[in-house]
Amino acid sequence: MATAFSLAHYTLFSLRTSSLFLHRRRNAFNHFSVPFSSSSSLSTTDKRKWRRPVVSILELGGVKIAKDDVVRDDPTNNVPDTIFSKLGMQLHRRNQHPIGILKNAIYEYFDTNFSSKFDKFDDLCPLVSVKQNFDDVLVPADHVSRSYNDTYYVDSQTVLRCHTSAHQAELLREGHTHFLVTGDVYRRDSIDSTHYPVFHQMEGFRVFSPDEWEPSGLDATSYAAEDLKKCLEGLARHLFEGDIVKFGKQLKYVHHFEYLGYEFNVKENWLEVLGCGVTEQEILRRNGRPDNVAWAFGLGLERLAMVLFDIPDIRLFWSNDERFISQFCSGQLGIKFKPFSKYPPCYKDMSFWINESFTENNLCEVIRGVAGDLVEEVSLIDNFTNKKGMTSHCYRIAYRSMERSLTDEEINDLQWNVREQVQNKLNLVLDETFLASQNV
């Protein structure tokens, strides 16, 4: 039986520029920084403050949340201000926004084809326990997705959900057998046009009882797998109909890691839009349904909306620019986004000696902290190890606003701030020789 969950990050969308600076000259380095441990002590008591009503501007799924419930100067907390500022935006609940339009279109498909049997949830609190986010969906204890590098921890026992699967167990226990859960999810991740640290997922879950699969002559798992395939293909037809024919977009059903994945082929690029599978029997057994079988899927709404509406960059979903917002209309799936501008990108390279605790996700978070949505892409363009075994990385940062031209001065300021923070927050030593030749 397919294991339903793998959080391995995987994208087939962009191929990065390969090494450009293989021959740059290196100086021996005297003050290589002492690696510090990035893993935090988990001993702090689990305060669960967010469960208590507090005076706050945010109320999510009936839970009141103040900023210091989520962002704290505490080793068990790694949520930055930039992430807090996205909590409560709930793009999926705005009927005029592409994410909301897509959610409603998927609702329509399920309501029409399954006579409104699917219960819908779009207001469940994104703060969940480690148990809900990982244990309940059988993510192994040592899985990389549990790390502070991949997930935003509010405290040692509480996270910002990294997928809508975090709600499967509780909904099953409440007796739901057909449900859709839409919500904002949070991940520490790389930076490019299809990855953003906050995005939206829709979870689908359907439970079958023996009287459904027995007459078919199929075993329970095959029956559920067939049904899942039919359901997703129907959904794709509902959303894409004309387009698939017109633009040659194709659907493919493939194996990805432990669960099945669906990809859309868009103009020669593969774009991963969802994960799905027949759920582990253990999940059903633990939640009061030992004699049933079920399927589940987790759909990345931004990725799908990018394809449907021709939206070229994931940052646009967060834009308040009228020229973006006003192009979309409640209930209208057929609209194609017309770029209102093409401002030039500006590239800045930075080079530093990495230490043991260096990770690309940490670097990306620092850069987002400084540049916010002005950063378009961060890519490793060179990787070099000297005779002493010290490794240097050269990253290229693409700055580009979706809304206006950036001045040289502004970009230089950003880059200087990034350089400072890379040294101060990540304890990295810049490779100045190389930077001198880069004019920054």
DSSP labels for 125-176? -SEEEHHHHTGGGT--TT-GGGSTTTS-EEETTEEE-SSGGGGHHHHHHTT-
Q: What are 133-138's contacts with CB under 8 Å, separation 24+? A: 133/159, 133/161, 133/162, 133/163, 133/166, 136/166, 136/168, 136/169, 136/170, 136/283, 136/286, 137/4, 137/5, 137/165, 137/166, 137/168, 137/169, 137/283, 138/3, 138/4, 138/5, 138/280, 138/282, 138/283
Dist. CA 263–CA 139, nearest whole Å: 23
Of the two residues 199 and 352, which places its CB atom closer to ligand FA5 in the complex? 199
| Residue 77 binds which entry of ligand FA5, Mg ion, none, CB below 5-8 Å type-dependent | none
Stretch that binds ligand FA5, among 13-21, 47-55, 274-282, 397-405 (CB under 6 A): 274-282
Q: What is the torsion angle, in degrees rounded to the nearest 10, for the CA atoms of residue 347, residue 348, residue 353 and residue 355?
A: -70
Report the C-alpha gap between 302 and 286 in whole angstroms.
Answer: 32
Q: Which CB atom, from 10 or from 343, has the smaller least distance to Mg ion? A: 10
Q: What is the pattern of x (binds Mg ion, CB under 5 A) and - over residues 4-43?
A: -----xx---------------------------------
CA gap 315, 131 in Å, rounded? 31
What does the alpha-carbon distance between residue 273 and residue 262 come to, in Å, rounded to a whole number? 6
Q: What's the chain's length in residues? A: 440
Q: Which window, 196-204, 284-292, 341-349, 375-383, contacts ligand FA5 (CB under 6 A)?
A: 196-204
160 contact, one of Mg ion, ligand FA5, none, CB 5-8 Å limit per kind: none
**From 17-25, 95-103, 219-227, 298-306, span contacting ligand FA5 (CB under 6 A):** 298-306
CB of 242 to ligand FA5, least distance (A): 22
Q: Based on the shown chain and the rule CB under 6 A, indicate whether residue 182 belongs to the binding site for ligand FA5.
A: no
Alpha helices in 215-359 (DSSP H): 220-247, 281-286, 301-309, 322-325
Torsion on CA atoms 340, 272, 329, 161, rounded to nearest 10: -110
CA pair distance 305, 310, nearest whole angstrom: 8
| Residue 126 in contact with ligand FA5, rule: CB under 6 A | no
The one segment of 4-12, 107-115, 323-331, 379-387 that binds ligand FA5 by CB under 6 A: 4-12
Give me the least distance between CB of 424 and Mg ion, in Å please: 31
Contacting ligand FA5 (CB under 6 A), which of 302, 349, 377, 431? 302
**Residue 110 contacts residue 340 (beta carbons within 8 Å):** no
Q: By Cβ distance, which residue is nearest to ligand FA5?
A: 300
189 makes contact with ligand FA5 (CB under 6 A): yes
> Which residues from 325-354 bind ligand FA5, rule CB under 6 A?
none
Give dist(CA 66, CA 50) in Å, integer.
Answer: 8
Query: Segment near ligand FA5 (CB under 6 A), from 56-64, 241-249, 296-304, 414-422?
Result: 296-304
Going by C-beta distance under 8 Å and a sequence separation of 6 or more, which residues neighbour residue 429?
29, 31, 32, 33, 352, 353, 423
Q: How many CB atoms lie within 10 A of CB 301?
A: 27
Residue 232 contacts ligand FA5 per CB under 6 A: no
- Give the contact letters, 244-283, x = binds to Mg ion (CB under 5 A), - = no: ----------------------------------------
Site membership for ligand FA5, residue 277 (CB under 6 A): yes
Nearer to ligand FA5, 52 or 131 (CB): 131
State yes or no: residue 69 binds ligand FA5 (CB under 6 A): no
| Residue 275 in contact with ligand FA5, rule: CB under 6 A | yes
Task: Give the residue carrying structure tokens 């020229």.
Answer: 323
264 binds ligand FA5 (CB under 6 A): no
Query: Which is nearest to 47 in space by CA: 148, 152, 136, 158?
Result: 158
Measured from the CB atom, is 9 or 64 closer to Mg ion? 9
**Nearest to ligand FA5 of 289, 419 (CB atom):** 289
Among 38, 76, 133, 165, binds ligand FA5 (CB under 6 A): 165
Q: Which is nearer to ligand FA5, 271 or 422 (CB)?
A: 271
Q: Which residues bind Mg ion (CB under 5 A)?
A: 9-10
Q: Which residues bind ligand FA5 (CB under 6 A)?
A: 4-5, 7, 163, 165, 187, 189, 195-196, 199, 201, 259, 272-277, 296-298, 300, 302-303
